[in-house]
Amino acid sequence: MCYGVKARTEMGIRIARSRGDLVLVEKLQKLLLPFPDLDHHFANAFTHPRLVVFTADAPGEPQLAQWGLVPAWVKDNDQRKTIWNQTLNARGETIFEKPAFRASATMKRCIVHVEGFFEHHHFGKRAYPYFIRLKDREQFALAGLWEVWTDPDSHEALHTFSIVTTQANDLMRRIHNKPAGGPAKGATEPRMPVILTEEEERLWLAPIHGAADQQALLQLIKPYPTDAMIAHSVRPLLGKDGAGNTPTASEEFIYPELLLADPLQ
């Protein structure tokens, strides 16, 4: 799954600058710099943080959206609160089937740039957080879906998004190993976010005109190559002593018990 990412303001501006898009650099600076809370060393999905997304409607315009897609058909705030934590991720194989996602999958796809993401590894009775990134790119795009929901009370527009996931590759299957025992006992299938190459970013945002385009889009929903990724354990992220959204959140932290008995490599 994907319930935590690293996406700093500096990173977003650096991407635009590296691609020679000075107009986008200026747009991002105006959008992000006045708001230090948008500088995410660890963005926890369950707090519904605002992140920068680029949508199929306006691929050159950075926009802010909250994590946790709220479908347009949601009736009121009670229903929104009920569904919000259930739509942080969208299972890629079924995005054109599930009521919460099919409209967005067809017409409202987006990308979310990150430096890496966090996942928990289970060993013994503990869950150990890991930070995962790419070996050859300091930042990369995750496939997403977005939506606009109008609050019936305030009439304000709420922009939201979900991160699309796929089957885990060998590395992520090793990390995302919640113990087996059936759904009633909390077992989960190993998953990972859909990571896009720069060329695939364009394809993900391209319009769908028919079944062939939809099938081409589904071909992008696949595990990223294991040998292109790297991971390390980090300090606890949550709780009283958790790192939270601090610069040390993604720094390597060695757990002797993992190093001795359950090494990742």
Which CATH class, in words, describes the domain spanning 4-261? alpha beta
Digit-coded pLDDT (tens) for 119-157: 999 888 889 999 999 999 999 999 999 999 999 989 999
Give me the residue spans of the domains in the chain. Answer: 4-261
pTM assigned to the model: 0.92
Alpha carbon dihedral 165, 168, 169, 171, in 10-degree steps, equals 110
Q: What are the φ/ψ torsions at residue 123 (nearest 5 degrees)?
A: -145, 125
Which value, to the nearest 10 degrees, does the dihedral of the CA atoms of residues 231, 236, 237, 241 take? Answer: -160
What is the reported pLDDT for 180? 53
At 8-50, the pLDDT tens digits run 988 888 878 877 778 888 888 888 888 788 899 999 999 999 9
Residue 239, token pair as written in the block = 């709780």
Q: 148: which DSSP letter?
A: E
pLDDT, greater one: 239 or 261: 239
Any idea which residue has 């890496």 for tokens?
Answer: 116
The confidence band for 187, taking pLDDT boundaries of 50, 70 and 90, is low
